């Protein structure tokens, strides 16, 4: 009897809840016997309150986006929770301490009760921000910041075209564009009037229903034939020609995904040359720790005060328990969300 009790106690300490998946039907399931992550030097262990759902999670479930080498194969790249353990290096190199409310951008492992994160990618949760809101900041807002500031070099008075305006990244990009530069005009596309209405509440100056209107023509009308200085694209090949039509001279097009395909059947490169267009093809999950750490550092400096002040705010579309995680993925797969989908890991 004493031996059985000892074994049970061992399991409680070294096992945790996590969300697994079946690639054959894209379903998710709660599992209670996952091994807790072991910390590497420089790591912080976070007890996860909530995790953000991202399109790349759905792609990983489909077997097309495996985690980078050395990262957990558990889904989830952004978490919010409490610091419960730190390595010596993490303690020496950061002001973080156990008990702090934090959020982090991780390479994997977010859909779990505990998640490890290098201290370089951990940020304090801004005052007044809830767990569910905090879980929607790291991936979406860092992606938007990278695209607008590092890649797009957005400047005062410019015009930015943001596709998928009703998505988490789209809404983050609109808020940052308005707050980080003066006089920026934000144009968004979305697939319904309901989403466009919310986008305008979120700061968009002009909305285009891509299902009923030619967005290239509408952009040129809105800008008096100047075009958009910066374009954030998630669609890929099907939008290439229209982007050539509506990008401004010296414009920058940032490609963040290829939901519509990545193979071009034709492209008029002469138009791009004449306009001196710059293309950026950008990812975040596969970047080096040094890159992600510097991005997090600059992002925290430039944007976290906006959340405390209320100038930036995560629009939470829906919150799902770990037991109902499949519903979260289904909602995103069907493009029903307006804002951020969150999964809570607390019991």
Strand partners, 324: none
Residue 1 covered by a domain: no
129 and 167, same structural domain? Answer: no
Residue 171 vs residues 30, 270, 328: alpha-carbon distances, Å: 30, 33, 19
- The domain containing residue 330 runs over which residues? 12-59+75-137+286-344
Residue 331 covered by a domain: yes
Residue 12 has pLDDT above 60, yes or no: no
**Cβ pair 167, 136 in contact under 8 A:** no
- Given 281, 305, 324, the domain boundary residue is 281
The CATH number linked to 257 is: 3.40.50.720
Residue 80 covered by a domain: yes
- Given 241, 263, 281, the domain boundary residue is 281
147 and 122, same structural domain? Answer: no
Q: What is the DSSP letter of 322?
A: G
The predicted pLDDT at position 14 comes to: 82
Residue 7 has pLDDT above 60, yes or no: no
Q: How far apart are CA 347 and CA 322, in angstroms?
A: 9
Query: What percent of the chain lies above the pLDDT cut of 70?
Result: 96
The string of pLDDT tens digits covering residues 59-111 is 999 998 889 999 999 999 999 999 999 999 999 999 999 999 999 999 999 99
153 and 126, same structural domain? Answer: no
For the chain, the straight-line distance linking the first and the last C-alpha, in angstroms and rounded, comes to 29
Residue 182 has pLDDT above 90, yes or no: yes
Show Cβ contacts of residue 229 under 8 Å, excluding neighbours closer than 6 positions. 154, 155, 158, 159, 160, 248, 250, 251, 252
The CATH number linked to 330 is: 3.90.180.10
163 and 291, same structural domain? Answer: no
299 and 243, same structural domain? Answer: no
215 and 273, same structural domain? Answer: yes
- Given 281, 301, 323, the domain boundary residue is 281
The string of pLDDT tens digits covering residues 201-231 is 999 999 999 999 999 999 999 999 999 999 9
Comparing 346 with 17, the larger pLDDT belongs to 17
Residue 295 vs residues 67, 83, 306: alpha-carbon distances, Å: 20, 21, 17
Please tell me the total count of domains within the chain.
Answer: 2
276 and 145, same structural domain? Answer: yes
Strand partners, 243: none
Residue 70 covered by a domain: no
102 and 201, same structural domain? Answer: no
260 and 152, same structural domain? Answer: yes
pLDDT band at 13, cuts 50/70/90? low
């Amino acid at each position: 009897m004493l031996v059985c009790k000892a074994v049970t106690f061992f399991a409680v300490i070294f096992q945790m809840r996590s969300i697994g998946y079946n690639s054959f039907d894209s379903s998710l399931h709660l599992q209670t016997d996952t091994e807790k992550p072991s910390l590497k030097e420089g790591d912080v262990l976070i007890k996860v309150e909530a995790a953000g759902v991202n399109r790349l999670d759905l792609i990983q479930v489909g077997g097309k986006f495996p985690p980078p080498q050395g990262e957990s194969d558990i889904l989830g790249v952004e978490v919010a929770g409490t610091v419960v353990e730190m390595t010596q290096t993490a303690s020496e190199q950061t002001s973080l301490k156990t008990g702090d409310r934090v959020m982090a951008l991780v390479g994997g492992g977010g859909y779990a009760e505990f998640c490890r994160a290098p201290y370089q990618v951990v940020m304090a949760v801004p005052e007044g921000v809830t767990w569910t809101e905090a879980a929607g900041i790291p991936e979406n807002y860092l992606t938007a910041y990278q695209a607008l500031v590092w890649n797009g070099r957005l400047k005062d008075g410019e015009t930015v075209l943001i596709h998928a305006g009703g998505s988490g990244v789209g809404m983050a990009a609109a808020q940052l564009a308005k707050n980080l530069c003066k006089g920026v005009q934000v144009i968004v596309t979305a697939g319904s009037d309901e989403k466009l209405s919310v986008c305008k509440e979120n700061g968009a100056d002009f909305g285009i229903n891509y299902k009923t209107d030619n967005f290239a023509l509408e952009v040129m009308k809105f800008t008096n034939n100047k075009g958009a200085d910066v374009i954030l694209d998630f669609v890929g090949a099907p939008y290439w020609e229209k982007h050539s039509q509506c990008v401004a001279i010296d414009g920058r097009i940032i490609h963040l995904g290829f939901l519509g395909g990545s193979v071009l059947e034709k492209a008029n490169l002469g138009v791009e040359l004449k306009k001196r267009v710059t293309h950026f093809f950008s990812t975040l999950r596969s970047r080096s720790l040094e890159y992600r750490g510097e991005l997090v550092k600059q992002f925290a400096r430039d944007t976290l005060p906006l959340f405390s002040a209320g100038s930036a705010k995560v629009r939470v579309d829906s919150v799902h328990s770990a037991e109902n995680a499949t519903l979260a993925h289904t909602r995103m797969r069907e493009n029903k969300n307006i804002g951020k989908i969150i999964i809570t890991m607390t019991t």
